[in-house]
Amino acid sequence: MATQTPNPTYRQAATLAFERVIDLIADYSVFAPVNGYWHMANTLDTCLQHLLIEQKSPRPDSFNLVKNALDKVFDSRMRDKGESVEATDWGEWSRHGDGPWADDYGWWGVALITAYRNRGFLGYDETFSNRILKYARNCFAALAYGWDPSEAVEHSDVKGGAWNHQDLDQALTGRNNVTNEVLWIFSQRISDLDPNNEIYKDQVAASQKFFFDAKKKKASEDGALLNAKGLVRERLLGMQNGYPGWYWVGDQGLFMGACLGHGDTAGAKKLAEKVTANMLDSKAVLHDTISPNSDFNDDYATGKGVFMRNWKMFLGVSEPNRPTNFQDLITANAKAVWNNRVTPEASGRAQYQFGFNWNPAGKPFKKGGKGGEPTYPNGDENPSTFSLLVCQVAGLAALNAACLLQSADVQIPA
């Protein structure tokens, strides 16, 4: 696919990609009340990380990203519950009612912790910073409310896990791994902010035990976390309401990030090596599996971006404990994202639009679910603005990671 000549540097490309995200967000109406709720949090975290790492020193949030996200998306979704509602009521509403699925609070919480930790760099005053922290604490209470100490899988000794929703008549409800990975990461980070809070510390320990107990099981045993390839399943083997055999790259990134947050660099590195052995093409570009339920295509199209956000955490790990291809994977994917833009000849910032398949030549799409990734999550020739935003945010995460390398100011090879 044709690209501009000359190509920008990785850092410049990240800026252009971010500006395209801002255009797609526009007045925030793109975030519909249901699926758009957690996508706002995913978008927010990626955009905040961009502001913090795009340049050699952090940029303030002149876009009011957090304020607009809270005012126009978070509060508008929660307003029906009343301003004085307890956070545990949010949890009940989500676990058994028609509220956001509980894992949504985890995505919000992680993004808000990013904002609060960097409040000085981002330019937030004390009053607004306190608001951010209050929302984060409430999100934790709502998500942790769904923790269930019973057997996660019938007749298995793996116990615990938080529900995303308890109505098993709805597709993909249950104690799936993404809900619990996000809870583990969120509890780690909020506990770091408040290390004397026993509730946060207890949740870190409970989440860790849940996953480590499941990780000990053989791939064929009920309750097993990892499949025969050593990759994290979408949910534990034998758990209700899943699709046996399905895994996606977002879970790999989240579990890897949770292990790094826990200090288990060996476990994170081992999983990273399984991903690079099974989910890259010959050019070291990531490709994901397709959701077996098309209603969730946009949700799971976030996976490669989620993975890249967590992969870059290896920067904080000493050289021998990183995957051997750590930097190469970042540059390969950032290069592919840029060079395979879907509308490079468009006018304005639309020319910087990314697709779902970061390297179509490496894994061409085959119709009928026979492999590969389509150009857009739903295979549409005329994707929605929402689908475009999902793809753009994922690609931005890859370019954000490239901004952290010494090659950030090198021109992207064509």
pLDDT at 398: 98
- Asked if 48 and 66 count as a contact pair (C-beta separation under 8 A), the reply is yes
Measured between alpha carbons, how far is 2 from 17 in angstroms, rounded to an integer?
A: 17
Distance of CA 222 to the CA centre of its chain: 27
pLDDT at 370: 64
Q: Has residue 366 been placed in a domain?
A: yes
Return the exposure string of 215-237: e unless at least 16 CB atoms fall within 10 Å of the residue's CB, then b.
Answer: bebeeeebbbbbbeeebbbbbbb
Return the exposure string of 35-63: e unless at least 16 CB atoms fall within 10 Å of the residue's CB, then b.
Answer: bbbbbbbbbbbbbbbbbbbbeeebbebee
Measured between alpha carbons, how far is 38 from 45 in angstroms, rounded to an integer?
A: 11
Domain housing 288: 1-10+248-414
pLDDT at 345: 93
Amino acid type, 389 = L
Q: Has residue 76 been placed in a domain?
A: no
Over the chain (414 residues), what is each successive 10-residue block's mean pLDDT? 72 98 97 88 98 92 97 83 70 88 97 98 98 95 96 94 95 97 98 98 98 97 97 96 94 98 97 97 95 94 98 94 95 98 95 97 78 88 95 98 97 97
Task: Give DSSP secondary structure letters for 374-405.
Answer: -SSTT--SS--HHHHHHHHHHHHHHHHHHTTS
Q: Has residue 372 been placed in a domain?
A: yes
Q: Has residue 72 been placed in a domain?
A: no
Measured between alpha carbons, how far is 392 from 377 in angstroms, rounded to an integer?
A: 12
Q: Has residue 386 been placed in a domain?
A: yes
Q: Has residue 46 been placed in a domain?
A: no
Q: Has residue 359 been placed in a domain?
A: yes
Question: With 0-12 CB in 10 A as exposed, 13-18 as middle and 19+ as buried, what is 212?
Answer: middle
Q: What is the pTM of this model?
A: 0.96
Q: Has residue 340 been placed in a domain?
A: yes
pLDDT at 1: 46
Domain count for the chain: 1
Measured between alpha carbons, how far is 153 from 17 in angstroms, rounded to an integer?
A: 42
pLDDT at 252: 98
- Asked if 231 and 248 count as a contact pair (C-beta separation under 8 A), the reply is no
